[in-house]
Amino acid sequence: MQPSLVVVYFGGNDSIAPHPSGLGPHVPLEEYMDNMRKIGEHLKSLSDKTRVIFLSCPPLNEELLKKSTSTALSEIVRTNETCRLYSEACISVSKEMGIKVIDLWNAMQKREDWATACFT
Give tens-digit pLDDT for 16-44.
878 777 777 889 999 999 999 999 999 99
For residue 120, the model assigns a pLDDT of 43
Given this model, what pLDDT does residue 26 score?
85
Residue ranges of the chain whose pLDDT lies below 70: 64-66, 68-76, 118-120
Q: Is the dihedral of CA 4, 37, 39, 1 positive or negative?
A: positive
pLDDT for the residue numbered 19: 75
- Determine how many CB atoms are found less than 10 A away from the CB of residue 111: 11
Residues with Cβ within 8 Å of residue 28, at least 6 apart in sequence: 18
CA distances from residue 15 to 1, 7, 35, 49, 99 in whole angstroms, order as listed = 34, 19, 13, 31, 21
